[in-house]
Structure 1
Amino acid sequence: MSDSYSVDLVIPCYQEEDALPQTLPIILDYMRAVLNRENIAAQSFRILLVDDGSEDRTWEIIVGLTKANPEVCGVKLSRNCGHQNAMLAGLSSSAADVVITMDVDLQDDIEAIADMLLEYQRGSDLVLGVRDDRASDTAFKRTTANSYYRLLSLMGVPAVENHADYRLMSRRALVALLAHNETNLFLRGLIPKIGFKTTLIPYLRKAREHGTTKYTLRKMLRLALDGITSFSVVPLRAISALGILIFIVSLFASAWVFATAILLPDRVVPGWASTALPTFFLGGVQLLALGVIGEYIGKIYLETKRRPRFFVEESILK
């Protein structure tokens, strides 16, 4: 690492006309103050705002901010490509020695940025912000998030618990990340697999004060599914194990039926249950198996097309 370095902050924005005018001045003031600290060797910074196909005045506000502030740049995507792709678009546009990704709502404690930069100066290539607790979440979100991280762990997915997208990456870590050409992105799983020196920074996540969250339950479920199917074949193996188990149970059930019919013919009661229930059960298992297999085949289908993950409609870079 050189004695001085440049920093880019990549911030995806989607329908953030309410939050941007409130939060960006706070980020600017903080970064200007950080660069004046004696223990921080960073010499310059930029803020890369990525408009992820917003339908409100987000891009208009970004353009105004770039004109008023020399440190602010903007990238506009041609359509809504999703949070992960918007973040990747900003990362691809960065030319700095260090890049930090964060959300525009300032729920992630901005004070952790100084600690991240210090860890970079000590030799870390990846500095991951990890939430101290989930007190700011609803009980439902807290429960489902904790359950999801446990599920990822069971399936061998390399995700850091309570780490979202608040992180610092060195230039070589960023180059390694951009070498992945996957269509189905799950950055929270890809980044820990890079393998360079990693440090975790705990921080307190705050409640959102400006605007409303754009991460709906549907989007969270989609991200969760991508995390599992992009890194783990455990669901496919679980289907195989279930098939073997059903086969073994069927053998025992068949033996019991034949033994009863031969040894105790008068106790055999004809009925539809012995026919209908196994049919329903096996039919449900088959549909479940086809659904899981279809999800993986769909992923393969999308990957083989090699379609671009995003298109940049307009950019204001300095």
Structure 2
Amino acid sequence: MTPRPSGPVLLSLVLPCFNEQGVIARTHQTILASLGSLPDVELEIVYVDDGSGDDTPKILAGLAASDSRVRVVCLSRNFGHQAAVTAGLDHARGHAVAVLDADLQDPPGVVLEMLQAWRQGFDVVYAVRTKRKETAWKRAAYSAFYRMLSRLAHVDIPCDSGDFSLMDRAVVQRLKELPERNRFVRGLRAWVGFRQTGVVYERQARQGGESHYSFWKLVRLALDGLFNFSTLPLTAVFVMGLFISAVSSLAVLGLILFKLTGASIMGHTAQDLPGYTSVTLAIFFFGGVQLASLGLIGEYVGRIYMEVKGRPPYLVREVMNGEARPAGEKAR
């Protein structure tokens, strides 16, 4: 692996924001203290306001007015975290682009380690969480999700790595060329390949406000990761159907032989078995299997429907210290 040549580097930081008025000013000061005076590094900070309902846009406007390194992308409404990350990548201009949360759970100082690995020749440097200062149920849910996804997905998505990462300009451009509207950025980042490595860090507690990922939003994110990068659920339904058909055929054959031979089991003959019980159980069982199968297929069909409509993943209302670009357009 060939190290990158030394020289001035434009480093872009992408921070999606949603109702972060209690922490965003502190986040900005922490970024400047950690990364604002690096030698041979020009800093660009891209804040993406994802339709906040508090004073986050006003605070970001003040930062943009006082610091030319700040670019603020205001979306027309709340499109979700993954769409906000996508908008930030579309508007970032750096040779290297880092994505991190705006609540200081992702320490900006870790970007220094990522930048060093990037200079060594890696194209993607993702952060791997060794500890999470969150509730026990969230830690357990995240752990189960990442391990399930690593087993089921058709790409190698590193365990315990989220969107916190640094990517080379070439990788960002490849991500922007992908046509998906319903995005799972960490999965797409793994799918594009290139030379990747990880750095470990301890994820901090939120420094202000409350988490915007409710239980159901986490479930939705997990489903996005599973259905966007795996067809194994469809295969599992097919295999289950074959298995049930085989077992049912054997059961019918056994019942026929039971009746023809007049054999008894534990003193009971075929005439002693009430027919409606087995029929009722069979109806409930196969009805449940069919509904689950239809729901699973419907999830994939619904996602195809959303993609076919071709709507952009986000719409921009305003850009401060820059100009708006349609989703996927090259940064200049």
TM-score, normalised to structure 1's length? 0.94
- 3-state SS of the aligned residue for 1:130? strand
Instruction: Report how far residue 91 of structure 1 moved.
Output: 0.7
Which residue identity is paired with 1:20?
I
Contact preservation (8 Å) 1:160, 1:188: no
Distance 1:267 1:249 in 2: 19
Q: Does the CA-based 8 Å contact 1:22-1:210 persist in structure 2?
A: no
Structure 2 gap segments, 5+ residues each: 264-268, 323-332
Residue equivalent to 1:287 = 291
2:262 corresponding residue in structure 1: 264
- Does residue 16 (structure 1) correspond to residue 48 (structure 2)? The answer is no
8 Å Cα contact 2:35-2:108 kept in structure 1: no
Cα distance in 2 for residues equivalent to 1:103 and 1:155? 27
Q: Which residue of 2 aligns with 1:104?
A: 102
Aligned to 1:61: 59
Alignment partner, residue 327 of structure 2? none
Letter in 2 for 1:146: S
- Report the Cα distance in structure 2 between the residues aligned to 1:258 and 1:316, rounded to whole angstroms: 77
Displacement, 1:88? 0.6
Partner of 1:139: 136
Contact 2:30 2:108 in 1 (8 A): no
* Secondary structure in structure 1 of the residue aligned to 2:224: helix
Matches of residues 30-41 of structure 1 in structure 2 within 5 Å?
30-33=34-37, 35-36=38-39, 41=40
Could you say which residue in structure 2 is the equivalent of 1:310? Answer: 314
Q: Is the Cα contact below 8 Å between 1:156 and 1:232 reproduced in 2?
A: yes
Of 256-265 and 157-166, deviating more is: 256-265
Note the alpha carbon deviations across 1:257-293, whole angstroms, 9 max, x for none: 1122222285422242211001100000000000000
Structure 1 residue corresponding to 2:227, chosen from 226, 229, 251:
229
Equivalent of residue 119 in structure 1, options 117, 120, 135? 117
> Is 2:9 aligned against 1:5?
yes
2:86 to 85, 88, 93: 88
1:277 corresponds to:
281
- Aligned with 1:309: secondary structure? coil
Write the deviation string for residues 199-231 of structure 1: whole angstroms up to 9, x where unpaired: 211011111121111111111111110111111
In the TM superposition, residue 137 of structure 1 has moved relative to its aligned partner by 2.5
Residue 152 of structure 2, aligned match among 151, 155, 174: 155
- The residue that corresponds to 2:29 in the other structure is 25
State how far apart, in whole Å, the 2-side matches of 1:304 and 1:295 are.
14
> What are the superposed Cα offsets for residues 215-254 of structure 1, whole Å, 9 maximum, x if unpaired?
1111111111011111110000000000000000011110
The letter of the residue matching 2:280 is A
Deviates more, 1:265-274 or 1:53-62: 265-274
248-257 or 1-10, which deviates more: 1-10
Q: SS of 1:184's equivalent?
A: coil
Could you tell me how far apart the structure 1 residues matched to 2:35 and 2:98 are? 12
Q: Is the 8 A contact 2:103 2:208 kept in 1?
A: yes
Which residue of the partner structure matches residue 126 of structure 2? 128
Bigger Cα displacement from structure 2, 112-121 vs 256-265: 256-265
Partners in 1 of 2:72 and 2:229 — Cα distance?
Answer: 32
Cross-structure match for 2:182 = 184
Q: Counterpart of 1:133 in 2: which secondary structure? A: strand
Of 49, 70, 73, the match for 1:72: 70
How big is the shift at 1:110? 2.1
Q: Residue 88 of structure 2 aligns to which amino acid in structure 1?
A: G
Q: How many pairs were matched up?
A: 311
The aligned amino acid for 1:108 is: D
SS in structure 2 of the partner of residue 258 of structure 1: helix
Aligned to 2:330: none
Note the residue ranges of structure 1 that are not aligned, 5 or more in a row: none
Matched residue type, 1:313: R
1:214 matches 2:218: no
Could you give the per-residue CA deviations for residues 138-166 of structure 1, whole angstroms, max 9, x where no partner exists? 22112222211221122134311111111
The answer to whether the aligner puts 1:296 opposite 2:304 as a matched pair is no
Distance 1:146 1:132 in 2: 11
Q: Helix, strand or coil for the counterpart of 1:75? A: strand
1:86-137: per-residue Cα shift (whole Å, max 9, x none)? 0110110111111110001111122211111111111111111111123x12
TM normalised by structure 2 equals: 0.90
Q: Distance in 1 between matches of 2:150 and 2:168?
A: 26
Contact 1:99 1:169 in 2 (8 A): yes
Code of the aligned partner of 2:14: V
Distance 1:110 1:187 in 2: 20
Structure 1 vs Structure 2 CA RMSD = 1.4
